[in-house]
């Protein structure tokens, strides 16, 4: 009878320990999975912010290009006006200083 109890108790104890170890492993995996999910969310948030910044930089670059174009046009107009004033002064003999 003692052999019978040992034959059943030994494997049962082993199964209990294995089940407990498996449960601990599952809990650790679940916790690691939760931590990874949190880290992924943080990374996704950073990527989204970076994309917003890149769009903003692109918009600023386009505005600067338009501003440069407008300044170039203004310089051309001012140069033409200076030439016109010089021509008027030369043809009328006026002192245009």
Residue 21 φ/ψ, nearest 5 degrees: -65, -40
3-7, 35-39, 80-84: which is most confident? 80-84
Reported pTM: 0.50
At 14-68, the pLDDT tens digits run 666 555 555 666 666 667 777 878 888 888 888 888 888 898 999 999 999 999 9
What is the predicted pLDDT for the residue at 9? 59
- What single string gives the DSSP state of each residue in 51-85? HHHHHHHHHHHHHHHHHHHHHHHHHHHHHHHHHHH
Rg of the Cα atoms in the chain: 41
Q: Decide if pLDDT at 75 tops 60.
A: yes
């Amino acid at each position: 009878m003692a052999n019978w109890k040992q034959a059943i108790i030994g494997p049962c104890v082993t199964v209990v320990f294995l089940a407990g170890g498996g449960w601990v492993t599952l809990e650790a995996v679940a916790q690691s999975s939760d931590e990874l999910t949190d880290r992924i969310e943080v990374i996704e948030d950073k990527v989204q912010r970076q994309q917003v910044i890149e769009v903003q930089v692109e918009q600023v670059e386009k505005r600067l290009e338009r501003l440069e174009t407008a300044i170039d046009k203004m310089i051309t107009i001012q140069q033409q006006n200076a030439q016109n004033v010089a021509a008027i002064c030369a043809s009328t003999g006026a002192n245009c200083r």
